[in-house]
């Protein structure tokens, strides 16, 4: 299937590793031109070079710390200046650390609100006018299966990702008439460094070994395994494609069936 992404200009956040890189590689495989962003300048420059060499498409890296709304704004401006417009915006970001929600300080709430919502909104507000003018655009935000089924010990993530979903759903209604789709994609348990960190923390809280808790985690997944960044990237690329032109305002789970909700 031709996804119609050749030469589309894409900005992908937090794409030096894990799910973000999986998305970047899937878009590059379809011929999209990429600006990749991550906190570490050396890491994102290396990944951009690797992706450009592997897929024969343009890929540039730029450092950006999404905890700074000002930096997020500079990133959006840089993408617009470099490409002359952005057709696809993928909002991915690192998640908050695990811990008890009753012990989160007000300053921490504020900091993660800026990282997980305000920075995304800032960039979306920058790229949307061009998308609407051209009559085509894709905004895809990576959230979490926690939007459907809150995850113990990840209270900040549970709360703010639900807020991001509400923003995206509302925005999809506003920009749909202009040919712009806005969707969220909800990863479950994937083979990433963050997942290992979360399993380790949960094991400590339960007084179990890492191996024992990991086995219980896998047993709860109907497919009995962790997903791969490549599998996640494939779904993300479809949602960013011309083929997904009638999908908007949706929250799509990619979780191996772990969430038990009907919808």
Mean pLDDT by 10 residues, the chain (263 residues): 96 96 98 97 97 98 96 98 98 88 94 96 98 98 93 91 97 98 95 75 75 80 92 98 98 93 79
- Domain of residue 58 covers 9-188+229-253
Assess if residue 1 is contained within a domain.
Answer: no
Assess if residue 72 is contained within a domain.
Answer: yes
Assess if residue 34 is contained within a domain.
Answer: yes
One domain, residues 36 and 79: yes
Assess if residue 261 is contained within a domain.
Answer: no
One domain, residues 160 and 200: no
CA diameter of the chain: 56
Quote the CA–CA distance of 121 and 131 in Å, as a whole number.
15
Assess if residue 3 is contained within a domain.
Answer: no
One domain, residues 220 and 235: no
One domain, residues 178 and 78: yes
Q: What is the pLDDT of residue 153?
A: 84
Quote the CA–CA distance of 67 and 110 in Å, as a whole number.
10
Assess if residue 4 is contained within a domain.
Answer: no
> Number of structural domains, the chain?
2
Q: What is the pLDDT of residue 37?
A: 98
Q: What is the pLDDT of residue 22?
A: 97
One domain, residues 97 and 218: no
- Cα 64-58-65 angle, rounded to 5 deg: 5
One domain, residues 45 and 173: yes
Assess if residue 259 is contained within a domain.
Answer: no
One domain, residues 39 and 109: yes
One domain, residues 125 and 205: no
Tokens at residue 141, please?
């935000």
One domain, residues 139 and 233: yes
The CATH number of the domain holding residue 114 is 3.40.50.720
Q: What is the pLDDT of residue 212?
A: 75
Q: What is the pLDDT of residue 126?
A: 98
Assess if residue 127 is contained within a domain.
Answer: yes
Q: What is the pLDDT of residue 77?
A: 98
One domain, residues 211 and 154: no
| Closest C-alpha to 230, from 81, 21, 33, 28 | 21
Q: What is the pLDDT of residue 53?
A: 98
CB atoms within 10 A of CB 31: 17
One domain, residues 167 and 69: yes
Q: What is the pLDDT of residue 170?
A: 98
One domain, residues 63 and 99: yes
């Amino acid at each position: 299937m031709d996804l119609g992404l050749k030469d589309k200009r894409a900005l992908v956040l937090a794409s030096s590793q894990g799910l973000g890189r999986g998305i970047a590689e899937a878009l590059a495989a379809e011929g999209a031109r990429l600006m990749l962003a991550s906190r570490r300048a050396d890491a994102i420059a290396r990944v951009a070079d690797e992706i450009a060499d592997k897929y024969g498409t343009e890929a540039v890296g730029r450092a950006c710390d999404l905890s700074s709304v000002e930096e997020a704004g500079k990133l959006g401006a840089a993408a617009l200046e470099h490409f002359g417009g952005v057709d696809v915006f993928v909002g991915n970001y690192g998640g908050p650390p695990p811990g008890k929600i009753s012990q989160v300080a007000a300053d921490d709430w504020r900091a993660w609100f800026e990282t997980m919502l305000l920075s995304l909104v800032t960039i979306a507000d920058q790229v949307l006018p061009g998308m609407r003018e051209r009559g085509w655009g894709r905004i895809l935000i990576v959230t979490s299966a926690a939007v459907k089924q809150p995850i113990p010990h990840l209270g900040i993530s549970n709360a703010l990702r639900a807020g991001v979903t509400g923003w995206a759903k509302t925005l999809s209604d506003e920009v749909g008439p202009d040919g712009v789709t806005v969707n969220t994609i909800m990863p479950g348990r994937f083979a990433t460094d963050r997942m290992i960190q979360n399993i380790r923390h949960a094991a400590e809280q339960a007084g179990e070994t890492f191996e024992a808790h990991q086995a219980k985690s896998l047993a709860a997944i109907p497919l009995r395994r962790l997903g791969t960044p490549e599998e996640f990237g494939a779904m993300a690329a479809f949602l960013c494609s011309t083929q997904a032109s009638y999908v908007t305002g949706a929250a799509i789970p990619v979780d191996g069936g772990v969430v038990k909700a009907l919808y």
